[in-house]
Each structure stands twice: as C-alpha cells, then as structure tokens.
Chain A
Amino acid sequence: MADEQKPEGSQAPPPAGGEAAKPAPPPKPAAAAAPPKPPAVMAATPWDSDLAREIKERFGDRVGETSTYLGQNFIVAKPDAPVSLLEYLKIEANFDYLVDITAVDWPKRPERFDVVYVVYSFARNERVRIKTHIPEGFKLETAVGVHLTANWLEREVFDMFGIEFEGHPDLRRILMPEEWQGYPLRKDYGILQQDDRWVQENLGIESGQ
C-alpha cells in the first residue's frame, strides 16, 4: 500500500543513514555513521472511513491508495483526477475550504513532482490532502473553477516549480520578477543560483551575491 512512497525514500540518500520508518519513536541522536539501511518508506496505514470508501467507489482507479499518517489523511490521485476530486469533496462532502496548493520536487523520479492540495471542511472539522504525481511538463487542470483561492496558490506553484495549470485565468509569476529565468524551488536550482542577466539588467550590479 505504501508503494507510491518508495521512490521518495530511495532517491535521496539521507546523509547519515536513514532512520527506520516506524511511526512512533523519536530519532535516536547517536545514529550517525550507521551502515546504510534499505531505503526508508513513509509508514502510512490505510485510511478506513466512509468517505475513503465512497471516493474509491466513485473514482475507481483514478485514485490510488487512501492512507493515514500521524493521524492525517491523504488521497493519492491520478494526474487527471485532483480537480474532479476537489469538486466532489466540495459539493458532496462539504470540503468547502481549499487551504493550500503546493508541490514537492523529486528530481530522480520519473514523475518528478508531487502536487499537494489541502482541503478542509468546516462542517466536519476534517482535513484531507490530495496528492498527485506528475512528470515534468505535464499540465494539470486548474482548480480555479472550483475554489477561487486556487488562483494565487497555483501561480505560486508555477512560479517556484514551473508547473503549469491548464485553463488558469492569469498564470504569471507571483513572487519572482516576471522575466526571471528558472524555478527556484526545484531541487536542481542551487541556493546561491540566480538569474545573472536579470540582476545585471535591472539592478545594475554584477551579481547579487
């Protein structure tokens, strides 16, 4: 059930030996320089609830596993599913507040990005995360039609990761300057890296460093 997480653990070797993925124990401080262990995997358990069953029934194989980790529920969806899932959750299950959209970059995985949607229901006082894995260049459908707040959130994901959203009304950079080259939160973008040409043209200095 946790197979979707395997690439995550395997692609980034932790510097000091991966901690075994048990849910409960806090990390031991003395674990440095331990012999390399098999790749760690998020120890999520299946999420057993009426909602999870209903989603599985309605969406079939467009959703993968529905899991719980540390008491937080998440759904892994196929790239074409998140927006219809959001719509379903909003209209039929009362998840009327889109909390956040963000992404995580796993450069060594064929589906490079995780795009994560967090929704909350005022009526049920419940939070659910929807995760989808997409390859580079894949265009996700925009969620603006379901939740207006997705507008800026998707713009930020586009700005930081270069993930495009099909049908977004105004997909421009939001935090970085509009002409900036590169997507800062990708893992292959160095922490000191910058768009030298932009800096020279706009700030009149050789380098911002």
Chain B
Amino acid sequence: MPDATFLDSTELVLNMGPQHPSTHGVLRVILKLDGEKVLGTDCVIGYLHRGVEKIAEHRTYTQFNPYVDRMDYVAAVSNGLGYCLAVEKLLNVEAPPRAQAVRVILTELNRIASHLVWLGTHALDIGAITPVFYCLREREEALKILEKYCGARLTTHAFRIGGLQYETYDGFEQDVRDFCKMFVPKVDEYEELLTNNRIWKARLVGVGILSAEECKEYGVTGPVLRASGVKWDLRKAQPYSGYEKYDFEIPTGANGDTYDRYIVRMQEMRQAVRIMEQAVEAIPEGPIMGKVGKVIKPAVGEAYVSIEAAKGELGYYVVSDGSTQPYRCRVRPPSFVNLQALDRMIRGGLIADVVAIIGTLDIVLGEIDR
C-alpha cells in the first residue's frame, strides 16, 4: 500500500489545447490528474481576444453592429438581436411588428443551426461519427434561408437598429414552412441514433452533474441551467421581440447531468420549430423599420438588455454619453460565465469525461474571448 507522499508524486499535470479538436476552438485546459481521475483544472482563455468592447467605443452604433456577429459566430443572429434591442432600448424605440416576427423566425432558425453544430461536434467528441454528417446536412438548409435573406451564411448582420434592412424575399414563408416540415422528422432521426444508444448513455448519464443551486452560484444559464431543473427562459420570463405571442414550452431536465442537457437541447430544437411555425403564419404587414434617424444618437443614459441566446443569457450593457458612439459597450457572454463551472463539473471525474463536459457546455471561444 503506497503512502501519501508516494501518491502525491504520481500527480500529473496535463496540458490540453489550445490546439485540440475537442476544445471547440482555442481553449487551453490545464488538468491536474491522479491516474485517470481529475483533481482540478485551470482554464486559460483569451487566445481569440480581439478587443470587441474597445472597438465598440471607436465605432458609431451602426458601424459596430456587424462586429457583434463575430462573437458567437455559430449563432450570429442572436448576437445581432441582443445588440439591436439594447440600442433600441436606449433610443426608446421598438421595431415594428413585422420586423419583430421576422427577427423571431431568423433567431429561432439560427438557434437550431447552433444546436445542430453542438450536437454534431458533441457526438463526434464522444465517438459517434454519424450524427455530425446528419446535423451539418440539416444546418445547411437553415443557412440557405439565412443566405437567401441577407446574403451571408455565418456572420449574417441580419438586423439593423430599429428593425430590418431587407424585406423578406419572395417565397421566404414557404422556405421556412418547408424547413419546419422537413426538420422535425430529422430530430426524431437523431434521437433514434442517440437517445437510447447504450454507448451514448454510458458516456453521458451521471457525468458532469451540476445542481440547480450550483448553477445559480456560478451564474450558469441557458440549456445547462434548465437541465438542472430550473424552468427559466428569458423568452418567457422577460419576453422581447414579441415572444409572448407564441405558444411554446420550456424543456427542463431533472438530474443536471450531460444526458439531461442533451435531452433539453433536443427538445429546444422542437420548440424552436414550433415558434417558427406560429410566427411564419402570422407575419403582420407593415413597415420593417422603426422611427430611427440615419444618425443613431441616444440620449445620455445606460441600459442593460439581455436575450436568451442559444447558449444562455446574452447581455449588453450600453452606456451612452449622448454622442454617436457608445461610451461603453459591455457584452455579457453566456459561454464565458458557463465555462467557469467547468472545474466544478469535472473535478473528481475521469479524464475521458473532460471532452464530454466541454462539449455539453456548448462554448464558443469567439464569445468567451471577444
């Protein structure tokens, strides 16, 4: 029986990343190991830091709009929505109903695209290769609609402060309807591959448990919070952009483990389709741009506005000094805050679970580092 000092000497520090395919970008995790057991972690981030908040102070409100797409580039439409809503709040204007409905459709479409990237890569990390091909196939269909609407697939710059730049193209509604009809059976297909798959369950059930209390302590939001049993979604709690008009459920889990988070996100994709189906049938007629001047110049003041992005609460704290440029534009990224809980989730687990837990957090480094 080895004594304690001997055990200490077997402690191994292992570096993972920043160039590692399973860290979903440039995340570096320093793992302290005892054999296969993880004793602790330290995350090193900032490799993708571009100073977005600094750039905001040197651009006009309108010029800064495309920059926000480069944060969570997997769900760029949500970033744009959050930013536009924050500046609209400062201006005290609201986008017209038609613009709001189109915004909801595109944001939900983008939520699906984001969840599909998560599902594909998460499954790939765990060793299931097939789902990623399926997921990217359907994501392509979602991106096609975005591309037809605004010309870009990833960094869409879809919304403008006050509403929309472009009217919907001919056949937009039909494309969205077709997508919804096509997509629900595909979710069934993914679930058939994974939900009752013994290997999948063996790798996910009971891994990386985070209780509801811990989630609140760490400020974790989004699907991770809901998987721990907290029925909280900003689209319901503090509706924006007309979400109160649509009928949808907030899926929750019970155990707060990686498997529950998988189930919650699968359900969320179905709910997103539900919202889109309702929204597309009720796009009101009317203008697409609110009463916003050519030069955006909010009164002196500040506002914190947040939305439910695919990863959690995405907040913008914008301070105006009455000029045409934001005096300060703070972005509260969900991935940054959620990543902090990584250490709590991994500690005591096995090294093989590390990639499963990084995957289940659904982080995007562009948003963490900004």
Task: Give residues in A with beta carbon < 8 Å to B.
Answer: 5, 8-9, 12, 14-16, 18-29, 31-32, 40-44, 69-70, 72, 96-100, 102, 104-105, 116, 118, 122, 125, 127, 129, 147-149, 151-153, 156, 160, 173-177, 184-185, 187, 189, 191
Contact = CB atoms under 8 A, between A and B. Distances in A.
Interface in B193-238: 216-219, 230, 232, 237-238
Contacts of A16: 297, 323-324
B53 interface: yes
Residue from the set A18, A152, A187, A191 with the largest chain B CB neighbour count within 10 Å: A152
A156 to B, nearest CB: 8
Nearest to B317: A102
Given A12-B321, A29-B294, 18 more contacts: A12-B323, A12-B327, A26-B91, A27-B91, A40-B300, A41-B300, A69-B303, A72-B303, A97-B219, A99-B315, A100-B315, A102-B330, A129-B304, A149-B218, A149-B219, A152-B337, A160-B53, A184-B51
16 contacts: A9-B321, A15-B323, A18-B300, A19-B300, A19-B322, A23-B92, A26-B93, A31-B295, A42-B302, A72-B304, A99-B332, A100-B304, A152-B336, A176-B46, A177-B46, A191-B55
Contact of B232 (A122, A173, A187): A122
A100 B297 contact: no
A104 B328 contact: yes
Given A26-B291, A27-B295, A125-B237, A40 B322 contact: yes
A18 B292 contact: no
A43 to B, nearest CB: 7
Interface of B: 45-46, 49, 51, 53-55, 57-58, 89-93, 216-219, 230, 232, 237-238, 291-304, 306, 313, 315, 317, 319, 321-324, 327-328, 330, 332, 336-337, 340, 369-370
B291 A147 contact: no
Residue from the set B91, B219, B293 with the largest chain A CB neighbour count within 10 Å: B219
Contact of A26 (B292, B317, B330): B292
Given A29-B293, A174-B46, A185 B301 contact: no
A175 to B, nearest CB: 4
Contacts of A122: 216, 230, 232
A175 B359 CA distance: 21
Contact of B303 (A15, A18, A70): A70
A104 B319 contact: yes
